Structure 1
Amino acid sequence: MQEDTRCLKRKVTLGSLDVHPTEKALVVHYEVQAAVLGGGGGPVLGERKEGQKIIRLKSLSPTTDVAALAKKVVEECKLLPASRLPQVEQLLYYLQNRKSSPVEGKVERKEKRQVKPKDLTPFEGLELNEEASITKIDEYVELLYEGIPEKIRASALILQLARNPDNLEELLHNEAALGALARILREDWKQSVDLATIIIYIFFCFSSFSQFHAVVSHHKIGALCMSVLDHELKRHDVWCEELRKKNKACESAPENGSLRRDQDKVLKKYQSLLTKQEELLRVSLYLLLNLAEDTRTELKMRNKNIVGLLVKLLERNDEELLVLVVSFLKKLSIFLENKTDMAEVDTVEKLGRLVPCEHEDLLNLTLRLLFNLSFDSGLKAKMVEVGLLPKLTALLGDENNRAVIMRILYHISMEERFRGMFAYTDCVPQLMQRLYEHGKEDMEVELISLLINLAANKKNAQLMCEGNGLKMLMKRALKTKACLLMKMIRNISQHDGPTKVLFIDFVGDLAAEIQAEEEEDWVLECLGTLANLTIPDLDWELVLKEYNLVPYLKDQLKPGSAEGDLTLEVVIMIGTVSMDHACAVMLAKSGIIPALIELLNAQQEDDEFVCQIVYVFYQMVFHQATRDVIIKETQAPAYLIDLMHDKNAEIRKVCDNTLDIIAEYDEEWGKKIQSEKFRFHNNQWLEMVESRQADEPEPYLYDNERTDLFYSADGIIPADVSVSPDLFNPFQPQNGDSHLTRDVSDVFDQTSSSPGRPATAYGFRPDEQPLYL
């Protein structure tokens, strides 16, 4: 007998197409017709079933290209024919301009912090075969007054109802049910982990919506969850201690089979308890995280040591639990008090083991938490101490996390003491490679900012210049006119050694940019780079003449002619070129020295300006021609004497060194300088003597030739006072300034401002007698 040949025929018919009521999504309705065909081709049995497909559009934003997105949706969704493209485009345009609903905003916020309630399944294995009904809620409440098994069954049925948001409003008004659940949780949570997990999950469903937070707080569920966390962590410590003892006993007698069986039994029990405990911890933390949206509630949690509990949970291995813990810590870390608590409980050390990890969400959250913590200097140091720097560098190839990693590295690079450590990783080569791959328009701010900081370290600068590194950087910078890129080059140029010599080939290019009609920020960086090139073999006279820079430099010195930063760089540039004798003479003839004195008068409250101008004088007094101009034709020595006792140590140092040279070559000024130094050293003694003279005149101590007591035509005479001649050695440290024995090359490091600058001694002349006040 021949069997009937039968086959199944399936047909999908597209129905309506609409937008999702709350989410950014399209809803595609369709109908599936299934028929069993007999041997003759006729239908033997048929069935119809309606269905719908939700197409979520996470990338839809006000700037999205709607036409391109609609085309992509039609291409990827097999249910939509090409003829539906105009309708899809119209619906996407509607979604793009629709105001976000509160529920949608809630969903977006949850997705942003990557905490997804739908992933929470703490009741796994506790589901019942029966289906809950909202009409039977009173029966479920009655079961809550029975034994533990009945309570678990009743709460599981209520949980089925609570997981549907449409039932929350009705459950909210059933005070008997919520009150009974809260009471059972408060009284019986220690007796059954399953029962506690399910009840907390019910209240978690309410906590997912801000409008229901009041009812959760009313029943003090948050405080109960904090107690649950604390208790469960203590229980875990007890379990671990018991397991440790069993392991130790087994190690001491490895051949004892009984001990081995006891160890296996304890281990299995521990693993079973740990699984249930972590489900309870997850749902408790989810609920607390939702309640923490209110900062007042979050403060109460902090007072109950939420940070300490969370950091202790970082020792666990369950990735889903760790995702939640790190999310919570990241939220807390934006407040200073919580960040301080995290620093006290070694959070960074425990986060270090999570970098890197295979769980993408966990890695992303951990890096974002580290970024929040990296704003603190002490925690940055801790990150370096625990070895995070090479780990972060190794992750720079991760496209999803590169931006946040570079921000963390940028924060670390802000500390000068850590910049040198980057040279022992492959960070610099990776960053340079990425820099070459991007143009000016798409250059990442984090990338160039990090490179600018790293270039301030000599070892890193050498790595950047390896091969044709500097040549490629200069070519790129001059082509794109990128100020940040030139700032990086400027930082490279400040280091002495082989890197500075490489800039000789680009001096002409930089000088040409200064005279060009470019924006001031660009000129500032080019000028600053040139000013750093203190290269002995560089012919600055040729550069100044060929590019006619002297008039430009002189014009920029006029007060108000340019921004302060540009004028300051011009002064530094003049100090650099003044090391060359021919350049110093050229500048002196051009009238730059009076312009500098005028600028010094105008900027006398700015320590950086004063320090750099005095350094120019220091460079110029080394050359005979410019020294004569400074000493005989300007008031510069008088200004220097006035600044000799400035509060800023760097200014005092450069002034003293400059005045020492002037005193060596000009006898008359040498006497004035010596007398001022002597007066300063003996100021207290003179004040005491003058005070005694005013109160009780003693002619035998003070005659009409008072000044001869200290001065004569031949210089200073000790007279009746015993003074060491070393005090007046012009090349010895004065005013107790031991720092004068150091080299003056670090005067550029002084950037702080010192208030209360003494007034400039206008009109002071060498032929006048010193004035004692």
Structure 2
Amino acid sequence: MQTEDARYLKRIRVHSLNETTDIAALAQEIVERCKLIHISKLAEVEQLLYYLQTRKETGKRKKSTQGLLDPSPDFLNDSSLLEGEQPSINCIDDYIELLYEDVPSKIKASSLLLRLTRNPDNLEEMIQHDTVLGALTRVLREDWRKSVELSTNIMYVFFCLSTFTQFHPVIAKYKIGALCMSIAEHELARHETWKEDFFKLTFVSGDNNNESAVKEFEKAQKKYLGLVKKQDQLLRVAFYLLLNLAEDARVELKMKNRNIVGVLMRALETRSNLELVILIISFLKKLSIFLENKNEMAKQDIVPKLRPYVACDHEALCNLTQRLLLNLTFDAELRQKMVDNGFLPAVTPIFNNPAHRTISICVLYHLSFDDKTRSMFSYTDCIPKLIKMIVESPEGAIDVELAALCINIATKPKNTEIILQCSNGTLLKQLVKRAFRFKDPLLLKMVRNMTQHGQPVKRKFVEFLGLFAGAVKKGFEEDLLIECLGALGNLNMKDINYEVILNKYQLLPFLQNTLKPGHAEDDLVLEAVVLIGTISTDSNCAAILAQSGIIQTLIELLNVKQEDDELVLQIAYVFYKMIWHEETRRVIISQTQAPAYLIDLMHDRNAEIRRVCDNTLDIIMEHNEDWGKRIKLEKFRWHNSQWIEMVETQQQDDEDDDMYDLPYLRDDDLL
């Protein structure tokens, strides 16, 4: 019975309820002993007890979605060990007494307490008990070297508590985390000893004709495998317990100071148990988000150790490995190690599994940061798969991860050739149409990167000039305009009539407005300048540009954006292209101060800017005598100032050296 007022609430704790309890007899006992429940409510009590009993059965721990299994020891269900005894919360004191006896009794007591702890309903009462956790801690601290089963059972008790964060302070009180670290380190060292002894015995029993030696070897092998199996269970419980405790960043820092990464790396290298490997990689994934832990993993040479699990058949292990790799790929050296160890072709087949597709694409995207690695994509079957995924994507913009990877891949000519060859050369039209249909700026960026390669590739994009230029007339959003202008700027081909494009799609007014300082974002302004440089290769367009006043606008923009090296370089390049045509050359020399700005830029710290300005000024010198004299004078002053400074420095050094070579002078020799 429950009412809204807690004063009228009577709680009845049923400690003896388990799978074998007689529900009818227990309900009868409760009604008889509790005077508040009338005999007429017997059926309702039975129903409530049945609900509690079935809830306990379905409340067992299930497999984690990340593949982390409940680390239950195999010997937990050993009926011979418990002699048929069923644990009861009312007998905790009896179990504690067994913890003070011999090792078999301690194992029995720890098993019984573990069974109680696995039921979440008993945790609160066990925490409130005065001595049970203290007694378990004492036994674990004193006797963990004597029995693997005993250590595993006790650590599993604390693992059950660690699944609930409210019990973490209790675990910290008894310093179980530090003890688990010590046990794990000792067990890994002991495994090395077992392994050495076993291999020595293998060498001794190498003669198959010696039957006694063969039998001795088989016996030792069976013993060795049994010890390793029990040790794997202990390590699973220890690492899982530490993983739960690491939810607190302060506790994780303490683990880092105790070299938890080194312990996990040793375990990863020496253990083959699937569940244990899953747990280790999951723990490493959690730790890898911090720089110090990532650096320690790099020192431990983690990349080759992960190679066997990159494309394994176990889905949970494969997914966890990909996520760990993703965290590690933020480091340039680790990315290069992954490439050197053949991770690029190993990750590609994972695309076929939708469960791993996104994470594997993210890993490849990080690997594509490095320029050399991008070229290696052409030697795998990755590119056709990626393009197929784009074509088969649902309506709307494609996934950001997929688009980002394709954008990087398209920067290499060989990769672009493979893309153009997909679907017998018909794929390019599908990509461009999809980009404009759904107004996908990332897909357009990929197309734009493809247009920057050689003339044979650029010719395949000529048929889309109308789409790129039409985006300006239709007033697309700025991010789309940037990519369209970039694609037009890349198509610097002599046989394209840009005069028709300028007039048909009204590009000139758009360019004039865009170049006005403060009128548009810098990215859009930069692409507009690049496009003007491309258009300037056409002599007919040069005349139009000269009459439009756009040269003066470029000078104003140069004056405002003189700290932006990329923009200054592109403007200087526009002047270089214009200076070849008589119409624009006349305007630049006689009607603007562009040569003066170019003279100033001769001394810029950017080598490319200096080179473009020198080439432009050389052409001006050939066509204008006045500017030619001034340019020669400025160049002479620049070179002469450097020479004078060098000569003066050398003379000063010579004078300093001569001071020590003078003959002895008397005071009366000095004037």
Provide, for residues 81-121 of structure 1, a one-character-per-residue CA deviation record: whole Å limited to 9, x for no partner. xxxxxxxxxxxxxxxxxxxxxx99xx99x946553437665
The structure whose residues are more often strand, as a share, is 1
Q: Once structures 1 and 2 are overlaid, which stretch shifts more, 548-557 or 607-616? A: 548-557
Equivalent runs, 1:732-743 vs 2, <5 Å: none
Is 1:465 aligned to 2:420, yes or no? yes
1:192 has 2:147 as partner: yes
Deviations 1:310-363 (A, max 9, x none): 112223221111111111111111111111111111112111111222222111
Name the stretch that deviates more: 442-451 or 296-305.
442-451
| Aligned position for 2:220 | 266
Alignment counterpart, residue 245 of structure 1, candidates 200, 209, 214: 200
Q: Could you tell me which residue of structure 1 aligns to residue 637 of structure 2? A: 679
Distance 2:490 2:54 in 1: 66
Corresponding residue to 2:70 among 97, 106, 117: 117
In 2, are the aligned partners of 1:440 and 1:482 still within 8 Å (CA)? no
Partners of 1:613 and 1:165 lie apart in 2 by: 72
Q: Which residue in the other structure is 1:617 paired with?
A: 575
Question: Residues 257, 688 of structure 1: CA spacing in aligned structure 2 closer, same or farther, 3 A cutoff?
Answer: closer
Q: Distance in 1 between matches of 2:542 and 2:74?
A: 80
Q: Name which of structure 1's ranges 641-650 and 535-544 shifts more when overlaid on structure 2.
A: 535-544
| Aligned residue identity for 2:337 | K
- The residue number in structure 1 matching 2:481 is 523
- Give runs of aligned pairs for residues 304-343 of structure 1, distance below 5 A: 304-315=258-269, 316-343=271-298
Deviation of residue 465 (structure 1)? 1.4
Match of 1:174 in 2: 129
Residue number in structure 2 paired with 1:650? 608
In 2, Cα distance between equivalents of 1:663 and 1:125? 98
Matched with 2:624 is 666
Alignment check: 8 A CA contact 1:122 1:197 kept: no
State the partner residue of 2:7: none
CA distance in 2, matches of 1:617, 1:649: 17
Matched, 1:282 2:236: yes
State the Cα distance separating 1:213 from its structure 2 match.
1.5
Distance 2:456 2:646 in 1: 57
Whole-angstrom distance in 1 between the partners of 2:75 and 2:323: 27
What are the residue-to-residue correspondences of 1:93-132 with 2, within 5 Å?
Answer: 111=64, 113-117=66-70, 123-125=76-78, 128=82, 129-132=84-87
| Equivalent residue number for residue 229 of structure 1 | 184
Question: Which residue of structure 1 lines up, in the alignment, with residue 433 of structure 2?
Answer: 475
1:507 and 1:454 map into 2 onto residues whose CA distance is 23
Q: Residues 71 and 236 of structure 2 are in contact (CA less than 8 Å); yes or no, is this contact kept in structure 1? A: no
The ranges of structure 1 where at least 4 consecutive aligned residues each deviate by more than 6 angstroms after the TM superposition are 51-57, 687-691
Structure 1 residues 677 and 168: alpha-carbon distance in aligned structure 2, compared to 1, 3 A threshold: same
Which aligned pairs between 1:429-508 and structure 2 lie closer than 5 A? 429-441=384-396, 443-466=398-421, 467-508=425-466
What is the SS of the residue equivalent to 1:645?
coil
Answer whether contact 1:122 1:198 (CA < 8 A) is retained. Answer: no
Residue 562 of structure 1: how far off its partner (Å): 2.0
Distance, in Å, in 1 between the alignment partners of 2:129 and 2:145 is 26
Instruction: Note the C-alpha offset of 1:667.
Output: 2.9
Query: Which is richer in helix?
Result: 2
Which position in structure 2 is the counterpart of 1:712? none
Q: CA deviation at 1:684?
A: 4.7
Preserved contact between residue 452 and residue 488 of structure 1 (Cα < 8 Å): yes
Q: Which letter does structure 1 place at the counterpart of 2:213?
A: L
SS of 2:309's equivalent in the other structure is coil
Kept in 1: contact 2:451–2:458 (CA 8 A): yes
Deviation at 1:574, TM superposition (A): 0.5
For the aligned residues, what is the CA RMSD?
Answer: 2.9
Shift of 1:641: 0.2
Give the alignment's TM-score, normalised by structure 1.
0.73
> What's the offset of the Cα at 1:240?
1.6
The normalised TM-score by structure 2 is 0.84
Q: Distance in 2 between matches of 1:54 and 1:461?
A: 60
- Counterpart mapping for 1:34-49 below 5 A: none
CA contact (8 A) 2:69 2:275 kept: no
Maintained 8 Å contact 1:420/1:459: yes
Q: 1:145-224 to 2 correspondence within 5 Å?
A: 145-224=100-179
> Which residue does the alignment assign to 1:582?
540
CA distance in 1, matches of 2:556, 2:118: 79
Residue identity in the other structure for 2:608: E
- Between the aligned partners of 1:652 and 1:388, the Cα distance in structure 2 is 43
**Conserved 8 A contact 1:307-1:338:** yes
Q: 1:484-534 deviations in whole A, cap 9, x for unaligned?
A: 111110011111142111011111221122211221221221111000011
From 328, 336, 340, give the equivalent of 1:385. 340
Q: Is the Cα–Cα contact under 8 Å of residues 355 and 391 in structure 1 kept in the other structure?
A: yes
Q: Which amino acid aligns with 1:209?
A: F
- The AA in structure 2 aligned to 1:304 is R
- Equivalent position amino acid for 1:136 in 2: C
String of CA shifts for 1:203-233, please: whole Å, max 9, x gaps. Answer: 1122222222222222221111101111111
Q: Which residue in the other structure is 2:252 paired with? A: 298
Contact 2:601 2:610 in 1 (8 A): yes
Offset of 1:687 from its aligned partner?
A: 6.4
Hey, what's the Cα distance between the residues in 1 that align with 2:522 and 2:426?
35
| Structure 1: runs of 5 or more not aligned | 1-31, 33-47, 58-102, 692-773
Call closer, same or farther: CA 1:124–1:455 in 2, change over 3 Å.
farther
Q: Is the contact made by 2:365 and 2:401 (CA closer than 8 Å) also made in structure 1? A: yes
Map residues 128-143 of structure 1 onto 2, 5 A cutoff.
128=82, 129-143=84-98
Q: In structure 2, how many angstroms separate the alpha carbons of the residues matched to 1:118 and 1:688? A: 76
**In the TM superposition, what is the alpha-carbon distance from 1:597 to its structure 2 partner?**
1.0
| Map of 1:539 onto structure 2 | 497
Residue 266 and residue 135 in structure 1: after superposition, are their counterparts in 2 closer, same or farther (change >3 A)?
Answer: same
- Partners of 2:197 and 2:239 in 1: how far apart? 26
Tell me, in whole angstroms, the C-alpha distance in 2 between the residues paired with 1:56 and 1:379.
47
Could you tell me which amino acid in structure 1 is paired with residue 489 of structure 2?
A
Shift of 1:244: 2.2
SS in structure 1 of the partner of residue 602 of structure 2: helix
* Contact 2:312-2:318 within 8 A present in 1 as well: yes
Find the aligned partners of 1:365 and 1:120 in 2 and give their Cα distance: 24
The separation in 1 between residues aligned to 2:621 and 2:235, in whole angstroms, is: 79
| Cα distance change, pair 264–538 in 1 and its aligned pair in 2 (3 A) | same
The percentage of counterpart residues that share the same residue type is 52
Tell me the equivalent position of 1:600: 558
* Cα distance change of structure 1 residues 171 and 600 upon mapping to structure 2, 3 Å threshold: same
Partner amino acid, structure 2, of 1:479: R
How is 1:350-369 mapped onto 2 (pairs within 5 angstroms)?
350-369=305-324
Contact 1:527/1:569, CA 8 A, preserved across alignment? yes
CA–CA separation in structure 2 for the residues paired with 1:365 and 1:594: 59
CA distance in 1, matches of 2:55, 2:436: 52
CA distance in 2, matches of 1:468, 1:632: 51
C-alpha distance 118-53 of structure 1, shift in aligned 2 (>3 A): farther
Moved more, 208-217 or 192-201: 208-217
Deviation (angstroms), 1:124: 4.8
Task: State the alpha-carbon separation in 2 of the partners of residues 421 and 626 from structure 1.
Answer: 45
Give the corresponding residue for 1:36: none
| Counterparts of 2:632 and 2:74, CA distance in 1 | 86
CA separation in 2, counterparts of 1:525 and 1:120? Answer: 60
Q: Which of these residues, 331, 355, 360, is aligned with residue 400 of structure 1?
A: 355
2:262 and 2:378 map into 1 onto residues whose CA distance is 36
> Is residue 346 of structure 1 aligned with residue 301 of structure 2?
yes
Report the 3-state secondary structure (helix = DSSP H, G, I; strand = E; otherwise coil) of the residue aligned with 1:400: helix
Summarize the Cα distance change of 1:542–1:120 in structure 2 as closer, same or farther, 3 Å threshold: farther
- Does the C-alpha gap of structure 1 residues 55 and 643 become closer, same or farther in structure 2, counting only changes over 3 Å? farther
